[in-house]
Structure 1
Amino acid sequence: MKNQPEWWDPYSCQPYKMRDEDKPRSGMGNVWEYAKVAGSNLIGLPAIAYQYLSLKKRPSGISSDEFVGLSIAPQVEYQSAIIEMVDELGVKQLLMRIPSWDVDALDDYVRFLELFPNNEFVINILQSRDSVQHLTDWQNQVAKIIRATRHITNTYWIGNAVNRTKWGCVHSGQALDLQVAVEELRSEFKDLRLLGSSIIDFEPLLSWRTLWNFRNYHIDANAALLYVNRRHSPYGTQYGIFDLENKLRLAKAMTRLSNRCDDALWITETNWPLLNTKPYTPNSGNPTRTVDEETQAKYLKWYYQIAWQTGWVERVYWWQLINPGYGLVDHREGSLRKMPSYYAMKEIIAGELSQVPDRD
């Protein structure tokens, strides 16, 4: 990223946490949007509950190289190594971020993408507060990114963590505004595949708001950033019943009922932050939310196996290849060290998706 804004944390690859005094104040727009969130969920609850209880598990027929995805970033100093590791892992599905505010560096992103002619890409276009405040500029930036990369992919994931204020959106209505602005580009780019919703963590009320509404847009798949590390294990529960499988069940039920989305659920980000890796760890570093390397590798396998065996998910992307705080490879000592999770992903791609997770 060439044009790195002051609010961006280069270690954890996300905006810095906002101080309370810097957060935008709530206004009537927020109150009105909260009312819409509540109303849509009250209307949808009976159908969601019925669909949730009706869903049956069936092992996916999707091959491992179609199901398992990995995010990579254009780190020039490790360019050759990234190519080699992608090939060694056997991963076919790749995801790369392009910030909307970095369009002046598009040539660099394109050169990096072109190093992987045998892989399929999803491009995640990142938003900022400026995107929300200047929708025409946002639309023009997205259009530039699509024009520059359409010879590589036609699949674009719009926005990231839209339910986190530090990423730019004060409320879910602003996230919908971003999606509507991009929808208008379909008239120029006929074969676009757009992923959306872009809710991080398990926040079903906001997920439903982004999937069922009467705004003018359509998304080809529900892109969910479904992290479960705060429950420690994929078998840990939230609200008493929602382990990973039941979170996926609810996400699939909502996706199936959506009037804005095709019946396709993708997990576009997940990982487990690692102990003692500050400042790279994107959370507090508290042991209840971080794990050692061996545990991360075990949980990686469990996550992919559980998701694949439900049959409700089409793809899962791990964020990301090189990062000592949550990735597969540690680069802190001036060289690249493949962590246990790297080899766990290699084993999953090689054929361990159908194995029953070992909970020991």
Structure 2
Amino acid sequence: MNKAPFFWDNYSDQPSVIKDKAYKKAMRKKFIFDYIKMFFSSILVLPFSILIMKLFQGKNELSNKEFIGLGVNLDKDDKNNTQQELIEELGVKNLIIRVPLWDIQNLDSYVEFAKSFNRLSSKNIVLNLMQDRAHIENKELLKKDLELIFSKFSSFVSEYQIGTTINRAKWGFFAVKEYLKFYKVAQDLRDEKFKNLTLIGPSTIDFEYYYNVRAMFNFYNIKYDKLSSLLYVDRRGAPSNTQYGFFDTKNKIDLLYCLCKLSSKTSDKIYITEVNWPLSNTAPYAPTSEKECVSNEEYSKYMIEYIEIAKKSKKIEKVFWHQLIAPGYGLVDNRDGKIVKLPQFYVLKELLNEN
């Protein structure tokens, strides 16, 4: 992820915005027909889905320990078992771990890192397999590296998020069509050699459900065993805030669940695999501008509200908070080599001890 025009920002744990505008424009032009398909399918699907979304009732009855998960990252590992100890203190049972395909040469380190969380108590682990252009463009390379990952992890990890943040060009995909072909490679490999694995997609970020429609209503021979969404709230405030005058967090969940019910390409099992708020006065670690940032107190309040809304909907199976250690948006600040547990760390600990 450090080959022009794609560069990784180690502060905010995400790719930098593509600065080569000519390249980005050319790539989007290349896939113009896929955007047209997305436009027309959205016109057909979204209005109808909005009309009927309240007809579908959720069914998940889960304890907070079953419902809440947390992201941990190898690049935050300090070799002192800090993350492992923090996870045990919190009492988290569900973890999501990023595995970048561009770092495949270090795969054994990711295997050991994932296994380390099971030494004291058993964890349910989702692997978040992150793409780059090399693996998007080269299907043989993708298949080879996915087979290596599945082989090394399948004895203790059964769930894999195939790709992430597919509606942001800086993450590598320029059209949903590219993602569908990417996912198909993983699905075909799973069906051929790893039949017990669960594949999760399409991993769109924010309230851009026209990308969901294209990924969930198409003629590709794919199916998501579970649906993943990086369902962030409008950055400027509470989960009760609305976009387009109507869509607060509850209504966004209702619409997403309705799309699952209407689509033949997915089950109605939904994971929210990434959500947080950016923290004030943490630049350059915050993933957004200061205007969108909140205090630790606001962050803690919004966390409680978001988890409560998602759980009460009975339409979400798991919410994975992003992430344990991250000065700009997480639960723990590790700047200057010090581990500082922020107020939201203790709030999540309390939530995990509730039913």
TM-score tier by shorter-chain length is over 0.9
Q: Secondary structure at the match of 1:317?
A: strand
What is aligned with 1:339?
342
Q: Is the 8 A contact 2:77 2:83 kept in 1?
A: no
What is aligned with 1:128?
132
What is aligned with 2:173?
169
- Pick one of 309, 312, 319 that aligns with 1:309: 312
Q: CA deviation at 1:225?
A: 0.3
**In 1: Cα distance, 2:174 partner to 2:302 partner:** 33
Q: What is the letter of the counterpart of residue 53 of structure 1?
A: K
In structure 2, the CA distance between the partners of 1:27 and 1:16, relative to structure 1 (3 Å rule), is closer
Q: CA deviation at 1:56?
A: 4.1
In structure 2, the CA distance between the partners of 1:168 and 1:4, relative to structure 1 (3 Å rule), is closer
What is aligned with 1:215?
220
- Pick one of 243, 246, 268 that aligns with 1:241: 246
What is aligned with 1:65?
65
Q: CA deviation at 1:259?
A: 1.3
Counterpart mapping for 1:57-136 below 5 A: 60-74=60-74, 75-77=76-78, 79-117=80-118, 118-136=122-140
Q: What is the letter of the counterpart of residue 304 of structure 1?
A: I
Q: CA deviation at 1:45?
A: 3.8
What is aligned with 1:350?
353
Deviation readout 1:238-288 (Å, 9 max, x if unpaired) = 0000011111111111111111111111100000010111111111222xx
Q: What is the letter of the counterpart of residue 140 of structure 2?
A: T
Q: What is the letter of the counterpart of residue 66 of structure 2?
A: E
What is aligned with 2:8?
8
**In 2: Cα distance, 1:231 partner to 1:257 partner:** 31
The total of aligned residue pairs comes to: 347
In structure 2, the CA distance between the partners of 1:4 and 1:23, relative to structure 1 (3 Å rule), is closer
Q: CA deviation at 1:76?
A: 3.1
Q: What is the letter of the counterpart of residue 106 of structure 2?
A: A
Q: What is the letter of the counterpart of residue 139 of structure 1?
A: K
Deviation readout 1:157-187 (Å, 9 max, x if unpaired) = 0111111001111111111111111111121
Q: What is the letter of the counterpart of residue 314 of structure 1?
A: E
Q: Is the 8 A contact 2:126 2:160 kept in 1?
A: yes
**In 2: Cα distance, 1:348 partner to 1:229 partner:** 23
Q: Secondary structure at the match of 1:136?
A: helix
In structure 2, the CA distance between the partners of 1:173 and 1:145, relative to structure 1 (3 Å rule), is same
Deviation readout 1:44-95 (Å, 9 max, x if unpaired) = 246423431313467x411211100000012331541211111111110000
Gaps of 5+ in 2: none
Q: Secondary structure at the match of 1:123?
A: strand
Deviation readout 1:78-135 (Å, 9 max, x if unpaired) = 5412111111111100000000111110111111111122111000000012222212
Q: What is the letter of the counterpart of residue 142 of structure 2?
A: W
Counterpart mapping for 1:180-329 below 5 A: 180-186=184-190, 187-286=192-291, 289-329=292-332
Q: CA deviation at 1:21?
A: 3.8
Q: Secondary structure at the match of 1:281?
A: coil
In structure 2, the CA distance between the partners of 1:129 and 1:271, relative to structure 1 (3 Å rule), is same
**In 1: Cα distance, 2:176 partner to 2:189 partner:** 21
Q: Secondary structure at the match of 2:78?
A: helix
**In 2: Cα distance, 1:291 partner to 1:239 partner:** 22
In structure 2, the CA distance between the partners of 1:344 and 1:78, relative to structure 1 (3 Å rule), is farther
Q: Which moved more, 1:142-151 or 1:196-205?
A: 142-151
Q: Secondary structure at the match of 1:184?
A: helix
Q: Secondary structure at the match of 1:114?
A: helix
What is aligned with 1:30?
31
In structure 2, the CA distance between the partners of 1:241 and 1:50, relative to structure 1 (3 Å rule), is closer
Q: Secondary structure at the match of 1:91?
A: coil
Q: Secondary structure at the match of 1:103?
A: helix
- TM-score, length basis structure 2: 0.93
- Give the RMSD, CA atoms, in angstroms: 1.7
Deviation readout 1:313-352 (Å, 9 max, x if unpaired) = 1100011100110000001132100001101111111116
Q: What is the letter of the counterpart of residue 38 of structure 1?
A: F
Q: Does residue 350 of structure 2 align to residue 330 of structure 1?
A: no
What is aligned with 1:357?
none
Q: What is the letter of the counterpart of residue 227 of structure 1?
A: Y
**In 1: Cα distance, 2:58 partner to 2:200 partner:** 24
- TM-score, length basis structure 1: 0.92
**In 1: Cα distance, 2:13 partner to 2:112 partner:** 21
